[in-house]
Amino acid sequence: METVKFQITGLSILGASVTVSDIATDTLGLTLMTKILVINTSQNTETSKSRALVNHYISALREKGVDFEIKTRDVGVTPPPHLDGPTIGAFFTMPADRSDEQKGLIALSDELVAELRDADMILIGSAMQNFGITSGLKAWFDHVARVGETFRYTENGPEGLLGGRKVVVLAASGGDYTQGAAAALNHQTPHLKTLFGFLGIDDVETVVAPGTAVNDDGVEAAKTQIDDIAATAASGDTKAA
Ligand SMILES: Cc1cc2nc3c(=O)[nH]c(=O)nc-3n(C[C@H](O)[C@H](O)[C@H](O)COP(=O)(O)O)c2cc1C
């Protein structure tokens, strides 16, 4: 079976505006290939609810026959290091002026930025910790929010450079912050929206699984919601996905 790869712009799949996408043609016809960057954040690899939701999402897409390729970055098991002074100094040094040592300091950041740029869609399993995102996910953002790379300063303020991508956040929390006074304590999903918005990605869809400390009702409800999203994505109704 012959496979020809070429590039196309302006497509939309899974609700993501695909700026650059590979298309494989074979004797059976065309196959669209969406690149999904999966980011897992929980340190718990055994009974993590956010990881379970990510797996459910991927299975649901597969079952619906959606064609995609996945790259996984696990910041729960292998968190990027905290930024230190020399690394920040290397970020703010013009590329042509960076020493070999500075290039080494930002090598991981360069890799993370490249992964992000390469993705049409970013799927995050987000565990709430201390009312916000995990420290590993925060460190990941510290490495990918790069002036001149993923955002820039303009006369009108900062401008994100990663528009055209879609983010899906599957968020698990021990408590329930979906209503009432507790809602003000949720610094997880609002923070994620702010951070991706800063990078130019405003298409952020959130599915929450609240109350995991009490029972699995929130997780089951989230899985049902995920099934609906996958069905919509597979039907090609990208506005709702
Ligand atoms: C270090 C730590 C901090 C946590 N902080 C909170 C919190 O502030 N609020 C909350 O509702 N649950 C909190 N939890 C519970 C988690 O949000 C809950 O276990 C959730 O399911 C985490 O996702 P995971 O199952 O994918 O690890 C915390 C758990 C851990 C391990």
For the segment 72-111, what is each residue's pLDDT rounded down to a tens digit? Answer: 999 999 999 999 999 999 999 999 999 999 999 999 999 9
Inform me whether the pLDDT recorded for 25 exceeds 80.
no
Q: Are 143 and 80 in contact (CB under 8 A)?
A: yes
Q: What is the pTM of this model?
A: 0.87
Calculate the average pLDDT of the chain.
Answer: 88
In testing the pocket of ligand 1, which one of 55, 56, 129 has its CB within 8 Å of the most ligand atoms?
Answer: 129
| Ligand 1 atom 10, closest CA | 174
Residue 110 lies in a domain: yes
Write out the residue range of the structural domain in which residue 122 sits.
Answer: 34-235
At 184, which CATH number?
Answer: 3.40.50.360
The CA distance from 140 to 166, in Å, is: 18
Residue 210 lies in a domain: yes
Distance between Cα 219 and ligand 1 center (Å): 13
What are the beta bridge partners of residue 157? Answer: 154
Residue 76 lies in a domain: yes
- In this structure, what token pair is assigned to residue 192? 């994620």
Residue 196 lies in a domain: yes
pLDDT of residue 140: 99
| Ligand 1 atom 3, closest CA | 129
44 lines ligand 1 (CB under 6 A): yes
DSSP H or E run through 35: strand 29-40
> From residue 63, how far is each of 29, 127, 230 by CA, in Å?
20, 25, 9
**Domain tally, the chain:** 1
